[in-house]
Structure 1
Amino acid sequence: MKRGTKTVTRTAALMLSAALLATSATGYGQSAPAEPVQAVKPRAGADAGPDRGPNEGFGPYNKWVVRAVTLIDGSGAPPRGPVDIVIEGDTIADILPAGTPGLPLKDGREPRDFDYELDATGMFMLPGFVDMHVHGSTDDKAPDLSYSYKLWLAHGVTTVRGVDLAPFEVSLSEQARSERNEIVAPRIFVYQRPGQGEGWTGGRTNTPEKARAWVRWAAGEGIDGIKLSNNEDQPPEVIEAIIDEAEKQGLGTVAHLSQIGVGRLNALEAGRMGLDSVTHYYGHFESLLKNGPVQDWPVDYNYNDEQDRFGNVANLAAESFEADSEEWWDYLEEQKENNVTFDPTMTIYLAGRDLMRARNADWHDTYTMPQLWQFYQSSRINHGSYFYDWTTATEVKWKNFYQKFMHLINDYKKIGGRVTTGSDSGFIFQPYGFGYIQELELLQEAGFNPSQVIQAATLNGALTLYEPKGQPVPPIGTVRVGKLADMVIVKENPLQNLKTLYGTGFLRLNEETQELERVGGVSYTIKDGILYDSKQLLADVAAMVRAEKVRMGLPEEGVVRR
């Protein structure tokens, strides 16, 4: 989901947001502040995350050991353990047996020359998660990018593909700072949109020649890939040129095949051009329309009215060929033959099938920034805030659409097609990190078994990121000797219940006390051999949120639900 261009001036948007927040404050039984409150500080773009502090993360060390953990390695192999994981610098140096299940652990296990030792007895280790569709916390949603970074890391996300993360130059700068571990942030892959970049002087990239020139220029600047959206500047001949030039330059490609251009270029046709990934649902069902390549738009449809745009997407379920039809399987088989990756991002549209649940999720009160909460509210200004009059009938259509979309994604997995996990958080009541875990749950709902979910969240994303670079064996994505030390450590078995990965944990009845207790959440996230306390990262975010509420004159607890 791209960040839409606002149709009002920035000053007007600031005034409107301030007025709305001032009005919202009265929902707590308080009078509005005497002075207007700015929901967005007067700055453009996205502010870089602050430097990593001396007490943020442990390491990297010359050598340290995670002791007696049960390993889920991301390859699809079953859990095994207990094992000791030896980390040297930023690399996994060894995986050693720590004992036999059901018997006491071996005493005095090597190595003994470690700088740090973490007792993970009874815990589980997974590879760091890969979020394949992110936008950073821009300045209309949070004070700086660290808000999204810390929420991702707190949920075990150690690698993100920004599509785009932030403005061109900011994305590249933050990528370099993350690579040097100067900031508390995941590993960043920079995918940008054609024509972006202050240093680009070639104008609009609306011809094949200009598009190729931009791809070569952007590759020279250091981007990893390109986000396509088949808008008015990207007709089929331009997209074909971009995909071809990107492959020559070792860049990946991912497409959001929007309604503006999908009538001329659907996902099947883009796959034939060599597109690497289809993100969201766009383009899939337009490849399967019973009545030809153009959706049957309602006569009063207006794409710029976002309730029309998103409400009518669900009509594709009825207009497309049925699941398991010959056309259905022909589509999936050809996409697999063309090595197209599906990145469904089901989580970001989940409010479409149950708006009340999305608005009242556990995490909003403590972890949703007041600016972000206001951005979510129904608005004709903010992209994705399109619930102007969202009816039961619309939610029913979306529920039916999800059933068919999930069937498609699961069938693609069944025939060996690659599916990855992306969240697109920061819109539609989905905050960073939490939305990613919800995507894992949705894959299980679609028919993936838990081990397949973890593989999609780890190895599949790594393969998709590194293959365009000519690296078919990625340095991340599995816990193996020689791989980068990007890992997640949890107390609860995620294969038994993915809900235990949420930062807010999971409520379970304690049979001894007969009281509900909150369990789970990621305990530790390791990136480049640096150990982060995930609970502390969440505490940092909660403090950031409280500070912003105080700055805006709002109560520190809760959010305004009108």
Structure 2
Amino acid sequence: MTAWKYALAALAMVATQPLVAQMEPVPARAADEGEGPFGKLLIRGATVIEGSGAPPAGPIDIMVEGNRIAALYPGGAPAAEAQDVQRVIDAKGMYILPGFVDVHGHNGDASKAPQPSYGYKLWLAHGVTTVRGVSFYFGPDTPDLSDARRSAANTITAPRLIPYAVFGDKWSRGAPDTPTEAREWVRWAKAQGYWGVKFFNGYSPAVFAAAFDEAEKQQMGTVAHLAQTGVAEVNARKAVELGLDDVTHFYGHFESLLKDAALPYYPEDYNYFDEQSRFAWVARLAPQAVEPGSETWDDYVDLLIESGVTLSPTFNIYAASRDVMRARGFDWHARYTLPSLMDFYAPSATNHGSYYKDWTSEDEVEWRNFYAKWFALTKDFHDRGGRVTAGSDPGYIYQTWGFAYIGELEMLREAGLSPLAVIRAATLDGARALYEPLGEEPPMGRIAVGQLADLVIVPENPLANLKVLYGTGHTRLNRETGVIEQVGGVRWTIKDGIVYDAPQLLADVARMVAEQEAAR
């Protein structure tokens, strides 16, 4: 039974998992990758979007000392304060935000991107300075923890890495099958240095309850992908009642809102292991659920609010389901998506998420309707005070690292969050979701004195147009010259007081892509 449950849990995430040993080690940070930290770094003249939801304000000069924000000077720093700085960034006319937090990251599949720095640099190039790995790598003897330590020491070019382990993974004893084993595994994971636990479904309510309780005692976070294989026993409502901190994706929500039955309907030829069948029928859950605004709907949203659970929807990762051709032709694929990654994205009987073997217009319409109800649930939850965060789950379904994160911000906006609320989800709320299990306020997530110097500097206003955050920028016509221009893109990402040139990071990635193309 244990092996079967673990197999179902693993298949919820991957259909075929290559050997982690094939992954290349992350190289040490080169001398020309990032400058600093500095004794004093002065950022001049930016408009500040500080992360809490407060409106923009500027111009403001920001003084950074080492890896912390030391002072904010509305209107400009006094001349005496600017005399002994080691580096000045002229950000006049630009916008500065807290570093972005991606709460759903992976980076351990050699068949897609064998060098982890490919993903790490793409995240940094898009302003992502913190990533929660759920997990970064799968299996025992993997470098989740060593990558996290090296990033904390800034000896590799990478965002701050927050390692979570999949429940039952990493150790040699197999999936926990009793409450006692669940507690033992959680304590073991804590002792190794993991910050939290990622759950898939397939365990009994008693095992979940024990694991959630032990994780809280150990000050570890919990996040769950409540796959179809286990929602008959533990849907999102049940998981939240048992003590889950964070529901990711859509799994478990609509099974908690069924209007005519205790279990969802699946056709007689449904096969969960056939991903075309699995994902086509995800969208068919929406008509089986109650309507927004109904008593059952409102009671469920109230439960989520009262529990204090976080929602990290990762809208972007399934977005291709409503328009495959668009996703296959994203602007960035040609220059920044590895050929091996494009191969993985293509329709496949084995690669997880590559399920478009015969994807029809009917499937896409069903998914568009599904998103409408999923958006409504997220918006209602947010409007009643619930915490929504931004996660990208990159490396699947045409969603390439970094670019996928900005896509998630656009989809949070599409769901109805205001631009300021989107930035808060990407910064302060993401940071709080990571540090709340520790009983701490996060050291990053907003622009304030004493906070870590994790910052994003952008030439254009992202509140007016989130597309200016994409590494490929935004295409617009200059009405005065008649010239089509590419504007935007992050100019600098600052992590721990180290200034990274975002265009240089993108050039490094483009070189990796070109080298792989040439080798082929």
Instruction: Give yes or no for TM over 0.5.
Output: yes
* Aligned residue among 200, 204, 223 for 1:229: 200
Residues 208 and 241 of structure 1 are in contact (CA less than 8 Å); yes or no, is this contact kept in structure 2?
yes
Tell me, yes or no, if the aligned pair for 2:20 and 2:108 is still in contact at 8 Å: no
Determine if the alignment matches structure 1 residue 44 to structure 2 residue 21: yes
Are 2:292 and 2:373, in contact at CA under 8 Å, matched by a contact in 1? Answer: yes
1:102-141 counterparts in 2 under 5 A?
Answer: 108=79, 110-136=81-107, 138-141=109-112
Q: Please state whether the residue corresponding to 2:272 is helix, strand or coil.
A: coil
Aligned length: 508
CA distance in 1, matches of 2:289, 2:248: 19
Residue 189 in structure 1 maps to residue 162 in structure 2: yes
State the match for 1:530 in structure 2.
498
1:334 Cα deviation after fit: 0.8
8 A contact 1:202–1:210 mirrored in 2: no
TM-score, normalization by structure 2:
0.95
Q: 1:157 aligns with which of 128, 140, 157?
A: 128
Equivalent positions of 1:276-287 (< 5 A) are: 276-287=245-256
User: Which residue of structure 1 aligns with residue 47 of structure 2?
Assistant: 70
Is 1:4 matched up with 2:14? yes
* Paired residue type of 1:187: R
CA deviation profile, 1:416-464 (whole Å, cap 9, x unmatched): 0010000101000010000110111111111111000000110110010
Q: Does residue 1:383 correspond to 2:352, yes or no?
A: yes
- Cα distance in structure 1, aligned partners of 2:383 and 2:324: 31
Pairing 1:212–2:188 present: no
- 1:230 and 1:239 in contact (8 A); partners too: no
- How many Å separate the matches in 1 of 2:180 and 2:70? 47
Q: Match for 2:235: what amino acid?
A: N
- Written as runs of structure 1 = structure 2, the 5 A alignment for 1:462-481 is 462-471=431-440, 473-481=441-449
CA distance in 2 between counterparts of 1:227 and 1:127 reads 26
Amino acid at match of 2:72: I
4+ runs deviating over 2 angstroms: 42-48, 106-111, 200-204
Aligned-residue CA RMSD (Å): 1.4
In structure 1, the residue corresponding to 2:157 is in which secondary structure? coil
Q: Deviations over 1:151-176 (max 9, x none)?
A: 00000000001001113531001000
Correspondent of 1:546 among 499, 504, 514: 514
Map residues 307-386 of structure 1 onto 2, 5 A cutoff.
Answer: 307-386=276-355
Give deviations 1:487-510, integer Å, cap 9, x for gaps.
Answer: 100000000000111000011111
Residues in 1 aligned to 2:246 and 2:344: alpha-carbon distance in whole angstroms: 28
Which residue of structure 1 aligns with residue 216 of structure 2?
247
**3-state SS in 2 of match to 1:70:** strand
Cα 1:195–1:321 shift into 2, 3 Å: same
Name 2:116's counterpart in structure 1: 145
> Secondary structure of 2:96's partner?
strand
How many Å separate the matches in 2 of 1:352 and 1:408? 19
Q: Tell me how far apart the structure 2 counterparts of residues 260 and 45 of structure 1 sit (CA, whole Å).
A: 30
**Which structure has the larger Rg over C-alpha atoms?**
1
Partner SS, residue 476 of structure 2 = strand
Q: Show CA shifts across 1:300-342 (max 9, x none).
A: 1000000111010011110000011111111011111001100
Contact in 1 for aligned 2:49/2:97 (Cα 8 Å): yes
Q: Is the 8 A contact 1:47 1:138 kept in 2?
A: no
Question: What CA distance in whole angstroms lies between the structure 2 residues aligned with 1:267 and 1:115?
Answer: 51
Amino acid at match of 2:53: G
Write the mapping of 1:65-104 to structure 2, written as runs, cut at 5 A. Answer: 65-99=42-76
**Matched AA of 2:188:** W
Q: State how far apart, in whole Å, the 1-side matches of 2:298 and 2:443 are.
A: 34
Aligned counterparts of 2:292 and 2:515: Cα–Cα separation in 1:
50
Aligned letter for 1:343? Answer: S
Deviation larger for 243-252 or 42-51: 42-51
SS in 1 for 2:510: helix
1:257 Cα deviation after fit: 0.2
For 1:47 and 1:77, the matched residues in 2 are separated by: 42
Decide whether aligned partners of structure 1 residues 137 and 523 sit closer, same or farther in structure 2, where only a CA change above 3 A counts: farther
Equivalent residue in structure 2 for 1:410, among 360, 379, 394? 379
**Percent of matched pairs sharing the same residue:** 53
Structure 2, gaps ≥5 residues long:
1-10
Deviations 1:271-308 (A, max 9, x none): 11110100000011111001233110111100000011
CA distance in 2, matches of 1:430, 1:137: 15
Matched, 1:446 2:456: no
How far apart are 1:482 and its partner, in Å? 0.3
**Counterpart pick for 1:175 among 148, 162, 166:** 148
Change (3 A) 1:279 1:82: same
Decide whether the 8 Å contact of 2:494 with 2:500 is kept in 1.
yes
Note the alpha carbon deviations across 1:169-205, whole angstroms, 9 max, x for none: 31001000000000000001111112222xx343331
Distance 1:346 1:134, change over 3 A: same
Q: Conserved in 2, the CA contact under 8 Å of 1:46 and 1:170?
A: no
Amino acid at match of 1:184: T
Aligned residue in 1 for 2:228 = 259
Using the size of structure 1 for normalisation, the TM-score is: 0.88
Post-superposition offset of 1:512: 1.7
User: 1:536 & 1:362 partners in 2: Cα distance?
Assistant: 19
Please state if 1:61 is matched with 2:29: no
Q: Does 1:295 align with 2:254?
A: no
How big is the shift at 1:236? 1.8
Query: In the aligned structure 1, how far is the partner of 2:471 from the partner of 2:15?
Result: 32
Contact kept in structure 2, 1:137 and 1:426, CA below 8 Å: no
Matched, 1:516 2:484: yes
Q: Which amino acid aligns with 2:509?
A: V
Q: Quick one: which of 199, 203, 207 aligns to 2:174?
A: 203
One-letter code aligned to 1:67: R
The alpha carbon displacement at 1:130 in A equals 0.5
SS in structure 2 of the partner of residue 162 of structure 1:
strand
| Alignment check: 8 A CA contact 1:244 1:274 kept | yes
Question: CA-to-partner distance for each residue in 1:510-534, whole Å, 9 max, x for gaps?
Answer: 1121121100100000000000000
Inter-CA distance 45–407: structure 2 relative to 1 (3 Å threshold):
farther
Matched to 1:546, the amino acid is A
| 1:35-75 deviation line (CA, Å, top 9, x unaligned) | xxxxxxx8735333210000100100111110111100001
Gaps of 5+ in 1: 11-41, 100-105, 553-562
Q: Is the 8 A contact 1:133 1:160 kept in 2?
A: yes
Secondary structure at the counterpart of residue 400 of structure 2: coil
Separation (CA, whole Å) in 1 of partners of 2:519 and 2:80: 52
The equivalent residue for 2:390 is 421
The amino acid across from 2:295 in the alignment is E
TM-fit CA distance, 1:137: 5.0
CA distance in 1, matches of 2:177, 2:355: 29
Distance 1:211 1:293 in 2: 28
Asked whether the 8 Å contact 1:286–1:320 carries over to 2, the reply is yes
